[in-house]
Amino acid sequence: MFLTVHRPPQHGLICLLLALVGCPVLGAPFEIKVHDELIAEYQESAYEIETNLFQAPASQGLKTNVFQTRLEYGYGIAKNSEVGANIYLSNYNGVSYVNGGKLSYMYIPTHDEEGLWHYGVKNEINYIQDVGGTETTFYELTPILALQLQDWRFTINPSVDVVLNKYSSATFSPSAKVAYGLTHSLDIGMEYYADNLPNKSLYNVTQQPHTAYVVIDAKHNKSTFNFGVGKGVTTNSDNWVIKLIASLSFD
């Protein structure tokens, strides 16, 4: 993903666990997700709720942690395609904000789900107003490539973000996931996110946000749930992040 968002009070963790809801200048993105499959089946609607709570670096000077929420509606326009609309919300320093949203299109070609390779692409137009009031509109292209080896699944999203203004610039925001299937409905794994890497200075890793997560994925009927606890691995990363994603289908 891209930018960052805003910060919540200490009771935000309780809200996260009880209400399934929730960042930015440097901070966790609204969407902390490694894309792998559609959320909505053909001619069906699906809903996704993501919340995350994080402690920003001290350099941000925030009085509280940041609680972010992303609400998504998805609709399957074909057997291999869906469109989605998202809204971003946050709470920090005791104040709630509407931070923007995005429109998305995701394409997953028909292929053997039991086979070795899984692939696709997601296109998004994002608008975000960050914690400092800066407004940014950007296009994100997210290739999707996954490898299934028996109970192990390896997924990579080498995303590229392009700011849509007169100072247009591109950044590289790759993410990756390794998951092991404990049962047919429960996986455990790790996710890794590197946000907003300038294309001409990829070598300067210590100055860029990198966050690693331990995650659990669960499935129930057509719905899926992802819970993760993350820790920043560089000085400009968030100290810690808790995230919860619920993808719900009622059709």
Torsion of CA 131, 135, 141, 142, to 10 degrees: 10
pLDDT at 205: 59
What is the residue-averaged pLDDT of the chain?
83
pLDDT at 59: 65
The model carries a pTM of 0.82
Q: What confidence tens digit (pLDDT) does each residue in 204-215 have? A: 656 677 899 999
Q: How far is CA 94 from the centre of its chain?
A: 24
Phi and psi at residue 14, to the nearest 5°: -65, -40
Q: Contact at 8 Å (CB) between 48 and 248? A: yes
**Residue whose structure tokens are 């996931």:** 177
Evaluate if residue 6 carries a pLDDT over 60.
no
Query: pLDDT band at residue 138, thresholds of 50, 70 and 90?
Result: very high
Q: Which residue has the higher pLDDT, 6 or 71?
A: 71
Query: pLDDT band at residue 251, thresholds of 50, 70 and 90?
Result: low
Residues 127-143, mean pLDDT to the nearest whole number: 87
Assigned token pair, 101: 């949203």
pLDDT at 14: 31
Which of 4-13, 102-111, 234-243 comes out lowest in average pLDDT? Answer: 4-13
210-220/186-194 β-pairing: antiparallel
Residues 24-53, mean pLDDT to the nearest whole number: 87
Question: Which of 143, 192, 136 lies closest to 169 in space, CA to CA?
Answer: 136
- DSSP 3-state helix, strand, coil percentages of the chain (rounded to 5)? 5, 60, 35
pLDDT at 236: 66
**Residue whose structure tokens are 């794994």:** 189
CA atoms of 92 and 157, how far apart (whole Å) = 29
Element (H, E) at 109: none
